[in-house]
Structure 1
């Protein structure tokens, strides 16, 4: 489990905008795929046919979940696809798990930063290795089951993005297993046995999320981290420091964990069923887009220019890093899988969302002392307070809020209020604020930030 199971808060926003499916892109892609299937008769592109061959744990049996609904987006459309608009801000601000039932369609989401995340995972693995991705021998069954579940999900949910080139069951017999093509990166993933790579590496090549695998020790009844693929922890810690430790040790630094969460978390894990996945989100503020370690958590020995970078950064460039997290149990091994997917939202793009600037300012200065310290709010808040005050006054002037507006968690928590549907529009979700441009993409800037300090 990650070092930060941080709390969250709520907010509101503006009005929903849905973008229609690009007919020309879809038609051209489907023609290309049809030609490929005709010339390669062993290739099956029908997701339901794939599901019938896999003996999948998506078969909606007891203790399992139904298969996700196919989302027919093409590789070309992914570049224009926004993730769900998370706004996990609330007041009063206090420590809690704050979990919601997970719509399985959104276990492993897709967005326009997909290629950047996958490339960054490869770079971190090559440079840092087992500091960020590692496993214990006792995790083998759970990791194999996780690999199967992830591949099943991606093929079923995104049938135009992941093609099954060879069908087969995961029974560890030589030659069994599957071969899948990632249509976005064009990489062929050969998962026939014996496996060429560890299951966590295959998982990291198809999903943006970080993965933690926890198993219960029958001797003491506690859950231990037995495997993890975590290129994007956001803070300065490595998996090598957490592997083999139980949840109490891993969360020792989390504010109020011992007082409020320790007992309830273990009990909740014991009761958790494979059919009841959940999600939550936490957040913090930073002025960069690095995935491995954000500037707000950088130590001088790792980035001696951090203070100078902060002072020279325009407050309008600050962003909220949302840690979108899910929890689910694997049906066979009974391991608990925790995923984390970081998403960056600039404060500027949220400035027209009622009460968001007010909530941010309130939390930065009046949140619980231990959480304010844990998230390093004091490090930057004085630098952006004038900017936040200006946004609050702007909302008052425009009638978005009143001067005496009471701050509280709003009914649309944890999403923006303008996203009120089932989140299945083909082209994703676009912030209706004039401050947000659909074509904006921070990938190039993130690479520059990495090159300067990593």
Structure 2
């Protein structure tokens, strides 16, 4: 068992000085660039999951040629219903994936999760559902796209969701002969399509309307590289699918200044993609900051339709009321039939003024920010908000100490390990 102090891990998903780059690198890099941590089960006080995993511990795939995936007979176990799930009462989980300094590490940082924990839905669902519908209507294929060679994988993802969601969230979804029905919105989702299996809308777009997550599928080609060939990124905040669609995993990273990518991340990430099997689901969490309230798109870096967008356009040291804490919970799994690798990216979005009300958060977050090296600071855009944010966090930390907060007991009394 990992000692309690090691729960204080910084999972460093990072924004960039040039958010144009931040497309897939935002969640691909953050899948890899983090400290390994334990996760407790959900609010119902279940036991901890199995220990964290590294890519070398994931079941190795049998030898095969690149782009030649032998369909697997594996079927995920039926998920148990989420205990007492309610569209109004089940609140977002309080992910706070940052740790105390003085050192910020960039290492592999994946943890195994159970198949039943694949997708998280909560009381923010109506807001996310509405925002996604608005984005689909206004931007469509700019946010949701599936290449022909990824179409089978996208259909398979829909099938997986149609099996999973009615079991896990039975008060929201109901299985039907042709797919599933949203009991809250009244929407019917036909995942079978016409006689050729063609759906009435892009399968990634349909999948995105089922969950609060953004979605992406990477497909292996003959060169052994994985390419972003299907995506639905409706609430990405800083990045645009059209900028990175069709790029390889390596190119996505090398097209921007990912801190220590070549030195510490590239080899392990490549090996992991090659080895991951359908039996395994891994997850990790990240965090970063935004100086406006745009869940779907951060206008502070420029218009979403600008040729180039960058932190350089953001106003420096805006009032603290404009500072937002943006965290992602990301999962990765391989689809059994097609062999595509699926990412889910669930964004949690809160005003800084809200999360600092939680015990220990202001001090730990300030310490984490101060632990960033120059490369990470540039990548996260710290220059635009660091001064005013740290001053505010320090003040709130001092207020907690003055009212008697016992810093020594943090690991003991903290309700959630992130």
Q: Distance in 2 between matches of 1:118 and 1:132?
A: 15
Calculate the aligned-residue CA RMSD, in Å.
3.3
Match 1:361 to one of 363, 366, 379: 366
Q: Aligned-pair distance for 1:162?
A: 0.8
Show structure 1 runs of 5+ residues with no match: 20-60, 168-177, 421-430, 432-454
Aligned pair count reads 351
Unaligned runs of 5+ in 2: 1-22, 46-71
Specify the alignment match of 2:376 in structure 1.
Answer: 371
Partner residue in 2 for 1:435: none
CA offsets per residue over residues 82-131 of structure 1, 9 Å max, x none? 12221110243222341111232221111111111122112222222222
- How far 1:303 sits from its partner (Å)? 11
Q: How does 1:246-257 map to 2 (within 5 A)?
A: 246-252=248-254, 253=256, 254-257=258-261
Larger radius of gyration: 1
- Match for residue 149 of structure 2? 138
State the shift of 1:384 in Å. Answer: 2.4
Aligned to 1:79: 88
Instruction: State how far apart, in whole Å, the 2-side matches of 1:215 and 1:330 are.
Output: 11
Q: For residue 212 of structure 2, what is the aligned residue in structure 1?
A: 208
In structure 1, C-alpha distance between the alignment counterparts of 2:303 and 2:140, rounded to whole Å: 21
1:315-326 equivalences in 2 (<5 Å): 315=320, 318-326=323-331
Cα 1:164–1:328, aligned 2, differ >3 Å: closer, same or farther?
Answer: same
Q: Where does residue 88 of structure 1 map in the other structure?
A: 97
What's the counterpart of residue 193 of structure 2? Answer: 193
3-state DSSP of counterpart to 2:210:
coil
2:245 maps to 1:243 = yes
* Shift in CA distance, 304/198, structure 1 to aligned 2, threshold 3 Å: closer
2:263 matched to 1:259?
yes
Matching of residues 166-185 of structure 1 within 5 Å: 167=177, 178-185=178-185
The match for 1:286 is 290
| Structure 1 CA distance for aligned equivalents of residues 351 and 155 of structure 2 | 37
C-alpha distance after superposition, 1:254-276 (max 9, x if no partner):
22222211111010111111111
Normalised by the length of structure 1, the TM-score is: 0.69
> For 2:223, which of 213, 220, 223 is the aligned residue?
220
- Residue 232 of structure 1 corresponds to 235
The answer for the alignment partner of 1:159 in structure 2 is: 170
Corresponding residue for 2:386? Answer: 381
Distance 2:326 2:200 in 1: 35
After TM superposition, the score normalised by the length of structure 2 is 0.75
**Counterpart Cα distance in 2 of 1:326 and 1:393:** 36
8 Å CA contact 2:155, 2:191 repeated in 1: no
Partners of 1:122 and 1:275 in 2: CA distance: 33
Aligned to 2:9: none
Cα drift, residue 352 of structure 1: 5.2
Q: Which residue of 2 aligns with 1:444?
A: none
TM superposition shift of 1:250: 0.9
Alignment partners' CA distance in 2, 1:356 and 1:295 = 27
Change (3 A) 1:144 1:269: same
Which position in structure 1 is the counterpart of 2:275? 271
Per-residue deviation, 1:349: 3.7
- Give the counterpart of 1:340 among 337, 340, 345: 345
Cα distance in structure 1, aligned partners of 2:262 and 2:158 = 33
Deviation at 1:179, TM superposition (A): 4.0
- Partner of 2:155, secondary structure, is helix
d(CA) in 2 for partners of 1:96 and 1:342? 22
Say if 1:97 and 1:280, in contact at 8 Å, map to a contact too.
Answer: no
Q: Give the Cα separation in 1 of the matches to 2:36 and 2:369.
A: 14
